[in-house]
C-alpha cells in the first residue's frame, strides 16, 4: 500500500478512539503518532500542517497501539512514560499512573521546604508509587533531603528506576507505618497520596478499574483507613510546626479534617485543585 497523509492517519485513529469512549481521542491519537515517530506532540501537529506522509510501517505500528488504547489500556502504559511537573516518569503495569491534579498537591510540600528554616530540610513521602512526589521535591528543592517508601514490590521497582541517581533522595521498600523511625521528630514535611477509594466504590473509568493496582486505590470501607495511619505516623515524624499534606477524594475533606483535629493536629485545612474540587488537606504538627 502507498503512503498516506499523516493528518488522515491521525484523524482516523481519533475516530476509532472516540468510538471506544476514550475521553480525549485526538490528543491521544497525536501522542501515539508521536510515540511511533519518536517526536513530541507539537512536532506531530506541525507535520500534519505541512502535509507530511506516513509510511506503511508507521501505519502498522500505529494501528497496533490504537487497538490497545481502544481497549482502554492507559496511554501511559502504552508509551511507557507519564509527565509530572517537569519530569518524565517511567510507568507501566503494577504502578499507579501519576495524575495532573497531584502536581498541585505537591506544591504545598515544595513551598514548605523552600521556606523551612533548616539548612537541609527533611521531607518524607509515604507510599510514593512511581516516585513522582518524592522526585519532584528532591529535584525542585535540591538542598532538601527526601525520603520515600513504597510497600508494593511492583511499584517499588518503578520508583527505583525513576529516582535512581538522585543524590538527595532515599527510597525504601517498607510499610509506611514502619519506615524511617530514625527520622522521628526531625521532619519538616510529610506528604502522601494514599489509597482513598472506598472498597465498594468501583471506579468508572476502565483505565483505573482495570489497570491501576488495587493496593494504590482502595482504602477500606470509607476509604480513609490509611489516612488514619498516616495521621499518627506523621505526628511522630514531624518536628513541631511541621506540615502534613494528604491528597484525597473530593468528598473526603471534612472527615479528614475531623480525623486530624481529633488526633491533635493544628490548622487542618482543605484545598481545591484547578477544577475547584477538594483535593488536599494540610495540617500543622503542634
Q: Is the pLDDT of residue 1 over 60?
A: no
pLDDT digits (tens, 9 = 90+) for 64-121: 999 999 999 999 999 999 999 999 999 999 999 999 999 999 999 999 999 999 999 9
Q: Do 17 and 71 meet the contact criterion of CB atoms below 8 Å apart?
A: no
What is the set of domains in the chain, with CATH numbers?
Answer: 4-71 (1.10.8), 82-284 (3.40.50.150)
**194 is known as an active-site residue:** yes
Q: What pLDDT score was predicted for residue 205?
A: 87
pLDDT digits (tens, 9 = 90+) for 133-153: 999 999 999 999 999 999 999
Q: What pLDDT score was predicted for residue 3?
A: 62
Q: How far apart are the C-alpha atoms of 15 and 26, rounded to whole Å?
A: 8
Catalytic residue among 98, 193, 195, 211: 193
Tell me whether residue 15 is exposed, middle or buried, using C-beta atoms within 10 angstroms of its C-beta: 0 to 12, 13 to 18, 19 or more: middle
Q: Is the pLDDT of residue 130 over 90?
A: yes
Q: How many residues does the chain have?
A: 286
Q: Do 159 and 130 meet the contact criterion of CB atoms below 8 Å apart?
A: yes
pLDDT digits (tens, 9 = 90+) for 167-219: 999 999 999 999 999 999 999 999 999 999 888 888 888 888 888 888 888 88
To which residue does cell 498541585 refer?
104
pTM: predicted TM-score of the whole model, two decimal places: 0.90
Q: What pLDDT score was predicted for residue 172?
A: 98
Quick one: which of 36, 73, 47 has its CA closest to 207?
73
Catalytic residue among 84, 96, 108, 211: 96
At residue 267 the predicted structure's pLDDT band, cuts being 50, 70 and 90, is: very high
pLDDT digits (tens, 9 = 90+) for 20-53: 999 999 999 999 999 999 999 999 999 999 999 9
Catalytic residue among 74, 194, 195, 198: 194
Tell me whether residue 44 is exposed, middle or buried, using C-beta atoms within 10 angstroms of its C-beta: 0 to 12, 13 to 18, 19 or more: buried
Q: How far apart are the C-alpha atoms of 177 and 28, rounded to whole Å?
A: 39
Quick one: which of 40, 36, 77, 42 has its CA closest to 59?
36
Q: Do 91 and 123 meet the contact criterion of CB atoms below 8 Å apart?
A: no
Q: Do 263 and 225 meet the contact criterion of CB atoms below 8 Å apart?
A: no
Amino acid at each position: 500500500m502507498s503512503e498516506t497523509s499523516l493528518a488522515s492517519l491521525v484523524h482516523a485513529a481519533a475516530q476509532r478512539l472516540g468510538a471506544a469512549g476514550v475521553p480525549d481521542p485526538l490528543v491521544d491519537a497525536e501522542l501515539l503518532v508521536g510515540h511511533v515517530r519518536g517526536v513530541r506532540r507539537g512536532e506531530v501537529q506541525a507535520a500534519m500542517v505541512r502535509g507530511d506522509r506516513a509510511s506503511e510501517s508507521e501505519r502498522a505500528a500505529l494501528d497496533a497501539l490504537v487497538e490497545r488504547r481502544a481497549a482502554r489500556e492507559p496511554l501511559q502504559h502504552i508509551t511507557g512514560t507519564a509527565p509530572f511537573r517537569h519530569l518524565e516518569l517511567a510507568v507501566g503495569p503494577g504502578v499507579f499512573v501519576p495524575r495532573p491534579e497531584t502536581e498541585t498537591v505537591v506544591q504545598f510540600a515544595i513551598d514548605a521546604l523552600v521556606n523551612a528554616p533548616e539548612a537541609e530540610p527533611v521531607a518524607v513521602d509515604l507510599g510514593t508509587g512511581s516516585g513522582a512526589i518524592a522526585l519532584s521535591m528532591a529535584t525542585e528543592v535540591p538542598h532538601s533531603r527526601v525520603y520515600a517508601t513504597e510497600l508494593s514490590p511492583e511499584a517499588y521497582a518503578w520508583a527505583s528506576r525513576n529516582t535512581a541517581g538522585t543524590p538527595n533522595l532515599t527510597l525504601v521498600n517498607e510499610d509506611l507505618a514502619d519506615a524511617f523511625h530514625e527520622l522521628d521528630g526531625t521532619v519538616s514535611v510529610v506528604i502522601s497520596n494514599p489509597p482513598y477509594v472506598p472498597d465498594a466504590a468501583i471506579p468508572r473509568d476502565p483505565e483505573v478499574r482495570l489497570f491501576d493496582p488495587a493496593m494504590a486505590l482502595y482504602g477500606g470501607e470509607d476509604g480513609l483507613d490509611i489516612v488514619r495511619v498516616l495521621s499518627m505516623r506523621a505526628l511522630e515524624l514531624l518536628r513541631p510546626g511541621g506540615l502534613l499534606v494528604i491528597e484525597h477524594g473530593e468528598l473526603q475533606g471534612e472527615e479528614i479534617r475531623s480525623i486530624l483535629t481529633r488526633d491533635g493536629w493544628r490548622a487542618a485545612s482543605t484545598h481545591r485543585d484547578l477544577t475547584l474540587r477538594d483535593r488536599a488537606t494540610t495540617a500543622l504538627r503542634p
